[in-house]
């Protein structure tokens, strides 16, 4: 940045970052936020300043748009990083050593269900939908396919060549019941659907999902912030492995589901 930076510019850059750290804040509801987003997108010097201030705080700027606002990601060892223990506390994990791995698989399935095709991630107008039942069905179908593949190779003790990262968790997930009720009639938290519910509520708290109230409980729609985050996740090996199994369903605008066929997989 060769141009002179004023104190007020630094203050505006910090203010944009602060707004980005508020998960449910949107430029469409805040004139100051909207003006800072416009400035970031139109003024390269200001954009560089925002990214420099963010980096100094241990944050990476993933995107700044009118739809998503400022989307930030915490770098390793950043004060803003949500570590496993912090996530475990927020979602009340009972057996952290086991359930943190299962929650990783759940979050992977949610992302793949919401944005199963590259075009979905590239289209800023696309809104994905997901439900507790869909996530559980997809993960269990993936578990079934991996179990069949393991039996076919007769090497159950070794990682599967086709999905080495997923193999680490599918057996544990498959052993958990889908649903059970507590004595007072609530969904038991240690069931797979109980865990999925916790994970989805966490994503709502982070501004990544919104309840789709018109469709009843347990269904959620994506936000632009989540789309940006999943673009980053799409580069992960495990994400590709889950999609490669071909068990992820594609949401239609009406909210119905269809099994992904060969033609969908090649999109």
Cα dihedral across residues 87, 93, 96, 100: positive or negative: negative
**Better-scored residue on pLDDT, 23 or 262:** 23
Residue 77: partners with Cβ closer than 8 Å, 6 or more residues away: 58
Give the pLDDT of residue 33.
Answer: 97
pLDDT by residue (tens digit) across 207-222? Answer: 999 998 655 458 999 9
Mean pLDDT confidence for 5-14: 90
| Top-ranked range on mean pLDDT: pick from 4-18, 43-57, 108-122 | 43-57
Q: What burial letters (b/e) apply to 132-168, b meaning 16+ CB within 10 Å?
A: bebbbbbbbbbbebbeebbeeeeeeeeebeebebbbe
Token output for 225: 């912030």
pLDDT by residue (tens digit) across 32-41? Answer: 999 999 999 9
The answer to whether residue 125 scores a pLDDT higher than 70 is yes
Confidence of residue 158 (pLDDT cuts 50, 70, 90): low
State the burial class of residue 14 (Cβ atoms within 10 Å of its Cβ: 0-12, 13-18, 19+).
Answer: middle
Q: What is the DSSP letter of 74?
A: E
Confidence of residue 164 (pLDDT cuts 50, 70, 90): low
| Euclidean distance between CA atoms 64 and 16, whole angstroms | 10
Give the pLDDT of residue 264.
Answer: 34
| Euclidean distance between CA atoms 244 and 164, whole angstroms | 13
**Better-scored residue on pLDDT, 225 or 77:** 225
């Amino acid at each position: 940045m060769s141009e002179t930076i004023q104190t007020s510019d630094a203050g505006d850059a910090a203010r944009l970052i602060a707004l980005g750290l508020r998960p449910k804040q949107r430029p469409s509801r805040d004139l100051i936020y909207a003006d800072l987003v416009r400035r970031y997108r139109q003024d390269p010097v200001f954009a560089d300043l925002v990214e420099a201030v963010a980096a100094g705080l241990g944050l990476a700027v993933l995107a700044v748009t009118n739809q998503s606002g400022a989307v930030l990601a915490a770098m390793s060892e950043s004060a803003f990083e949500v570590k496993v223990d912090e996530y475990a506390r927020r979602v009340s994990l009972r057996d952290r050593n086991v359930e943190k791995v299962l929650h990783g698989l759940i979050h992977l399935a949610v992302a793949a269900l919401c944005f199963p095709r590259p075009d979905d991630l590239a289209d800023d107008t696309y809104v994905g939908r997901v439900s507790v039942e869909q996530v559980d069905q997809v993960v269990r179908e993936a578990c079934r396919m991996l179990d069949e593949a393991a039996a076919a190779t007769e090497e159950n003790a070794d990682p599967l060549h086709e999905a080495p990262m997923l193999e680490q968790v599918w057996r544990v997930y498959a052993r958990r019941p889908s649903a059970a009720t507590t004595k007072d009639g609530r969904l038991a938290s240690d069931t797979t659907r109980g865990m999925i519910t916790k994970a989805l509520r966490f994503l709502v708290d982070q501004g990544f999902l919104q309840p789709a109230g018109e469709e009843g409980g347990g269904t959620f729609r994506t936000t632009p912030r989540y789309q940006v985050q999943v673009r980053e996740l799409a580069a992960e090996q495990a994400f590709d492995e889950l999609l490669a199994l071909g068990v992820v369903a594609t949401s239609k605008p009406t909210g119905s589901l269809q099994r992904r066929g060969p033609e969908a997989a090649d999109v």
